[in-house]
Amino acid sequence: MPTPVLALEGVSKSFGAVAALRDVHLELHAHEAHGLVGENGAGKSTLVKILAGVHAPDTGTITLDGRPLRPAGPADARAAGIAVIYQEPTLFPDLSVSENIFMGRQPLRSLRRIDTALMRARAAELFDRLGVRLDPDRPARGLSIADQQLVEIAKAISLDARVLVMDEPTAALSGVEVERLFAVTRSLRDAGTAVLFISHRFDEVFALCQRITVMRDGRWVSTDPASALGVDEVVRRMVGREVSAMYPRQDSAAGAPRLQVRGLTRRGAFADVGFTVHAGEIVALAGLVGAGRSEVSRAIFGVDRYDSGEVLVDGVRLPPGDIAAAIRAGLALVPEDRRQQGLVMELSVERNTNLPRRWRLTRGGLLFGGAERRAAVGWAQRLQVKAGRLTDPVSTLSGGNQQKVVLAKWLATEPKVLIVDEPTRGIDVGTKAEVHRLLSELAADGVAVLMVSSELPEVLGMADRVLVMHEGRLTADIPRARADQETVMRAATGQAAAA
């Protein structure tokens, strides 16, 4: 095999007493997409940050085209030809899309003034290349997760990188957006770029990558041609055990109507949306990104006001735009964007866990740390949150464990209705199975679960019914017995009438 574009040999990295990477080796070649898989906490994110110049390895070597590489920071890594698309978008919210793409590399005209017209034109060309419609002048604030990710992808492509690292780039994208991204990635790969693709979606890894490296507990486990592996074998190597059921849906009889949505309309987002979720039922809200699913869930919970319609819990109408009333009625929302909307990253794990119900833990108006800690410990144990200490900032946790903290925060309120928006976005196969098991148990206990998901296997594996949205309207209500990939996708693209 020819000399790799980028190679890591014997790389180790520790943070205090925690060994994040131990003796890892990896080779990336031109004209190749290389898959990297492993559970959350396996060391993938640390490896990415070393490649990006954020962290320096404690031991080991990195070579680029056979020459030693030790970037002093992210700017050095970019200058060397390494572009990274992170799992969580890192945009400046008050700058435009084009300004975010060319931050620090703005084209200049005379007197070193920024050539904004040229910058906009180049951003538009990048979006045309990606096949997406985004206004280069639009502020980044308010963009959906999917659109934020597309801006990050455009930024990386604009660097003409030798090495492109993609850390969960499709986590918030629908099938159409994923295929569009893969077409661009394949063209970059075929032109000579070495691609490192990190994903928990095995169908994507096998569809894009020629070789797959598995990591576990900070160590390299194996590297093999994708053609020599199967999903079951990859999962076994990742977790060190068999994962027999990704979708452990328990049978539970649907009870009385618990959540009723009638004629819900918000101009420009969705129109005349109506459905019912019964006690003990998991109902999936499916559709392509931009169909209005997250907007509906936010309106139900009171984050966004709606123009007409009504939301009822156990037959009682909720006042629109009133989150406190929704919580009192027994509603809980696990949002799509856990970092921006689900957690306060600077606060501790225990403080985040208890935020919605801190008033219950007070005595005489005072909050005592012991009560807060005891409450957090119980949920951390139940959800198997892996954290050094519960007093550590939640930002120190892996993505999967952050998701568990968001779930713990809302489950602690003992909801009657749980709305989960992309509950397993960006988390590993083992944690995914745990989240699915938890949702199934909640439904068996009588909780009504409304699950927004872009992953069709998750929708088909967990839902008792599938509600499908297209361009802000419900186009189908499909029972589990009739739900399959083709039926859901036809409805999601507007080819099926509402049932």
Q: Does domain 6-91+143-239 have CATH number 3.40.50.300?
A: yes
Region 29-51: mean pLDDT is 89
Local confidence band at 373 (pLDDT 50, 70, 90 cut-offs): confident
* Nearest of 431, 331, 332 to residue 386 by alpha carbon: 431
Strands (E), 29-75: 32-37, 59-64, 67-68
Q: What is the pLDDT of residues 421-447, one digit of tens each?
A: 988 876 767 778 888 888 999 999 999
Q: Are 296 and 285 in contact (CB under 8 A)?
A: yes
The rounded distance, in Å, linking the Cα atoms of 403 and 437 is 14
* H/E stretch holding 228: none
What per-residue confidence (pLDDT) applies to 479?
Answer: 93
Tens of pLDDT along 171-223? Answer: 766 677 778 778 888 888 988 899 999 987 888 899 999 999 999 888 999 99
Confidence of residue 374 (pLDDT cuts 50, 70, 90): confident
Return the CATH number of the domain spanning residue range 257-492. 3.40.50.300
N-term to C-term CA, the chain: 56
Placement of tokens 């008050």 in the chain: 94
- Tokens at 311, concatenated: 């939301």
User: Alpha-carbon distance 331 to 63, whole Å?
Assistant: 52
pLDDT at 59 over 90: yes
Q: What are the residue ranges of helices labelled H in 38-144? A: 44-51, 74-79, 97-101, 116-130
> Could you tell me the residue ranges of all domains in the chain?
6-91+143-239, 257-492
Mean pLDDT computed over 292-302: 94
6-91+143-239 matches 257-492 in fold: yes
Q: What is the pTM of this model?
A: 0.59
Amino acid 498: pLDDT: 43
Q: Is the pLDDT of residue 243 over 80?
A: no
Asked if the model's pLDDT at residue 497 lies above 50, the reply is no
Judge contact between 80 and 64, C-beta under 8 A: yes
